[in-house]
Structure 1
Amino acid sequence: MSTIVPTWLWAVFVGIVIVSLFLDFVVLRKQGAHEVSVKEAVNWSLVWVALSVAFMGLLWWAVRDGTGDTALANTKALEFITGYLIEKSLAVDNIFVFLMIFTYFSVPAAYQKRVLMMGIIGAIVLRTVMILVGGWLIAQFHWILYLFGAFLLITGIKMWWAAGQEPDLEDNPALKLLRKVLPVSKNFDGERFFTLENGKRIATPMMLVIALVGLTDVIFAVDSIPAIFAITSDPFIVLSSNIFAILGLRAMYFLLAAMASKFHLLSYGLAVVLVFIGGKMMLIDVIKIPVLLSLGVVIGILAVTMWLSLRTAPRLPQGKDGEPEALN
């Protein structure tokens, strides 16, 4: 498991992540519990995307300066942006599950920011470990790439069949287990995870929400990490593209939550992306698909899916005056 990026770029990357999380926490504490508006979500999304693009430029310069090979620098930059886009795309399905969890537990919008922030920190730690372990396994056992590819192929097919179906959170085995292990109050107590009820310290619904969000991220990490290894085996690019995509997850959640119904076909597109990446990984020693072509395929699939979603968006029921009724 090796990378061509210099050591100082590792230090810069870690520093950016730490500073970003610190500033995010400062802003979160300063603002307090409040409902995130679409405007605020758009602004923060643009900030995170701009930061990621700037880092891609720094990566290009570091590789170009260290090797003197412009073509290699271009390739590494393309690998980064492709991995970033794939992780962002797969995070969309993750976000829809978060939305389902928040809706099921009736989590007040003002409290959702803290849950997502804690989920992001957990995701960063978890994925760093998984990526480093996965990179080592691939370096030692090349045939694991075929297993990753087959897994993504099967996952994509299963996602296609499950698309459009409403998941039943009530039958979730993890939720049933948590409720058996933890006595849970019926009401929230602000953003607290525990509360006192009849003199006993018991969990609040917020604790169940955090647990399910963490479990969801574990499940989706198993899908997304092998997908990026299909683009590059460089552990730095796999890790950095993954983490930068995660940093903007909270802002993207509030942005997509406001227009989730408009992209009702997106799960089908994500399923096709996984099948494509899985097939690419399984054929890695037979057909070398250029990174630029992979990027174009992923963008094309997502663009077509979003366009079809907008074209076939369900119409709102008409009121007596002929105007669309507001959704609750």
Structure 2
Amino acid sequence: MDVPAVVWILTVAGIAGLLAFDFFFHVRRSHVPTLREAANWSALYVGIALLFGAGVWVFGGREPGAEYFAGYVTEKALSVDNLFVFLVIMSSFKVPRADQQKVLLFGIAFSLVARSGFILLGAALINTFAWVFYLFGLILLLTAGHLLKAESEESRSPDNLMVRLARRLLHTSDDYDGDRLFTVRDGKRVMTPMLLVMVAIGGTDILFAFDSIPAIFGLTQNVYLVFTATAFSLLGLRQLYFLIDGLLDRLIYLSYGLAVILGFIGVKLILHALHENNVPFINDGEPVNVAEISTGLSLSVIVLVLLITVVASLTSPKGRARNTVSAARRHAQEYLDVEHDPDVRAKLYDRLLGDEARLKELPGKYRRQIHEEDRLMSLLRRAHEEHARQG
């Protein structure tokens, strides 16, 4: 599918315009989005992405349309998985709820710029070296294997390489000043932790790109489709974060679903590499006559795996139990250490009471699986004592 320069310009301008609109009309004024607001804007961005895909299907053809939708769905699923890490990072840095929107929007904008560079690099490598398909396929298979391990939860630690570098290189004040990046302390202009969080989010997203870019190149090698599917999967991610925040910990099987999808795409890439082979030590540098996986089959497998994964997660008693424990821990920490606005604290305390009621209803086998239960109970007691003093 050949894309004229004017279409590229209009597409980039449209995406930049959506980011600018998001900033000036939503993020510039710090606030906590309501569930209705997050749902409406999430639906709008998904609708724009689907409408764009329909346009690709009508004007570009069935094959490019299917490639776009396969890439968009895969990148969206990977982006949701990344929200786990963003949540942990912002909890680690104790970012107030109202200021998290600015951090997320910065992360999205930085990610678009960084991934655009990766996309151009990937396209150049593919056009120059056919063996790159083998490399991308191997990366995806290794990533899939890592996601299947129990230890993969460590990848959600706030203490990853990019966060450690940011802490070491950027010296900031101890306290936030709203959502400002700089403030004045003792007559000196200093950075706030907000800048540190943005650097940590942006740097961490670079690590995510090493999985997502090979994945989408496994579904389409058209640079325009790779760019637009990636961009539209990121747009609206801020609103989605606030919409499914309470459900993130329920998606206990998401990593397994992503492992299946990445493994499937990895196999597809290697089959394609064999079909286009020119590596001297494989079949004497001649193409190997192997079957290739069609785009339609790829799209069907991706959608089916994600559907099974989400339904299984949401209906799982273990998922509900883990979500309850995580919510109680997070709400107590936010009440004690993060939020200072009385209205926000009151809402957090009400949520905490609901979390505790659900904790008491958990079956014994799930209560025994609570990680650091004594510490959690101590945290809840401190929250009640703090509320009693304030009340």
Q: TM-score, normalised by structure 1?
A: 0.88
CA distance in 2, matches of 1:153, 1:166: 17
Q: Does 1:132 align with 2:120?
A: yes
CA distance in 1, matches of 2:142, 2:171: 37
Q: Does 1:302 align with 2:287?
A: no
What's 1:314 paired with? 320
Is residue 94–residue 216 contact of structure 1 (8 Å, CA) maintained in 2?
Answer: no
CA distance in 1, matches of 2:174, 2:259: 37
Q: Does 1:15 align with 2:13?
A: yes
CA distance in 1, matches of 2:191, 2:11: 37
Q: C-alpha offsets along residues 269-289 of structure 1, whole Å, 9 cap, x if unaligned? A: 112211111111111123311
Is residue 9–residue 62 contact of structure 1 (8 Å, CA) maintained in 2?
Answer: no
Is residue 48–residue 247 contact of structure 1 (8 Å, CA) maintained in 2?
Answer: yes
What's 2:57 paired with? 60
**1:167 positional shift:** 4.1
What's 1:157 paired with? 145
CA distance in 1, matches of 2:315, 2:203: 34
**1:74 positional shift:** 0.7
Other structure's SS at 2:207 match: helix
**1:221 positional shift:** 1.2
What's 1:37 paired with? 34
Is residue 152–residue 227 contact of structure 1 (8 Å, CA) maintained in 2?
Answer: yes
Q: 1:37 to 1:276 in 2, by over 3 A?
A: same
CA distance in 2, matches of 1:324, 1:130: 45
What's 2:347 paired with? none
What's 1:213 paired with? 201
CA distance in 1, matches of 2:164, 2:216: 33
Q: 1:157 to 1:60 in 2, by over 3 A?
A: same
Is residue 96–residue 257 contact of structure 1 (8 Å, CA) maintained in 2?
Answer: no
CA distance in 1, matches of 2:71, 2:121: 18
Is residue 162–residue 204 contact of structure 2 (8 Å, CA) maintained in 1?
Answer: no
Q: 1:272 aligns with which of 249, 260, 275?
A: 260
For structure 2, the residue ranges without an aligned partner over 5 or more in a row are 276-289, 326-352, 361-375, 381-391
Is residue 166–residue 200 contact of structure 2 (8 Å, CA) maintained in 1?
Answer: no
CA distance in 1, matches of 2:27, 2:93: 24
Is residue 101–residue 238 contact of structure 2 (8 Å, CA) maintained in 1?
Answer: yes
Q: C-alpha offsets along residues 207-239 of structure 1, whole Å, 9 cap, x if unaligned? A: 221011001111111111111111111111111
Identify which range, 238-247 or 174-183, moves more after superposition: 174-183
What's 2:174 paired with? 186
What's 2:370 paired with? none
Is residue 27–residue 102 contact of structure 2 (8 Å, CA) maintained in 1?
Answer: no
What's 1:237 paired with? 225
**1:204 positional shift:** 1.7
Other structure's SS at 2:183 match: strand
CA distance in 2, matches of 1:184, 1:275: 41
Q: C-alpha offsets along residues 18-51 of structure 1, whole Å, 9 cap, x if unaligned? A: 2212221221256x10011222111111111111
What's 1:70 paired with? none
Q: 1:89 aligns with which of 59, 77, 85?
A: 77
Q: 1:241 to 1:176 in 2, by over 3 A?
A: closer
Amino acid at match of 2:178: G
CA distance in 2, matches of 1:37, 1:159: 33
CA distance in 2, matches of 1:219, 1:287: 32
Is residue 193–residue 207 contact of structure 1 (8 Å, CA) maintained in 2?
Answer: yes
CA distance in 1, matches of 2:161, 2:3: 43
Q: 1:29 to 1:159 in 2, by over 3 A?
A: closer
Is residue 83–residue 231 contact of structure 1 (8 Å, CA) maintained in 2?
Answer: yes
CA distance in 1, matches of 2:208, 2:2: 28
Q: 2:158 aligns with which of 140, 147, 169?
A: 169
CA distance in 2, matches of 1:99, 1:232: 31
Is residue 6–residue 62 contact of structure 1 (8 Å, CA) maintained in 2?
Answer: no
Identity %, equivalent residues: 38
CA distance in 2, matches of 1:29, 1:98: 17
Is residue 125–residue 132 contact of structure 2 (8 Å, CA) maintained in 1?
Answer: yes
CA distance in 2, matches of 1:301, 1:7: 36
Is residue 184–residue 203 contact of structure 1 (8 Å, CA) maintained in 2?
Answer: yes
CA distance in 1, matches of 2:156, 2:22: 32
Other structure's SS at 2:190 match: strand
CA distance in 1, matches of 2:163, 2:49: 35
Aligned residues: 312
Is residue 127–residue 221 contact of structure 1 (8 Å, CA) maintained in 2?
Answer: yes
**1:323 positional shift:** 5.1
Is residue 176–residue 192 contact of structure 2 (8 Å, CA) maintained in 1?
Answer: yes
Rg comparison, structure with higher value: 2
CA distance in 2, matches of 1:53, 1:251: 17
Q: C-alpha offsets along residues 235-273 of structure 1, whole Å, 9 cap, x if unaligned? A: 111111111111121112212212112212212211221
Amino acid at match of 2:56: L
Higher relative contact order (CA 8 A, sep 6+): 1
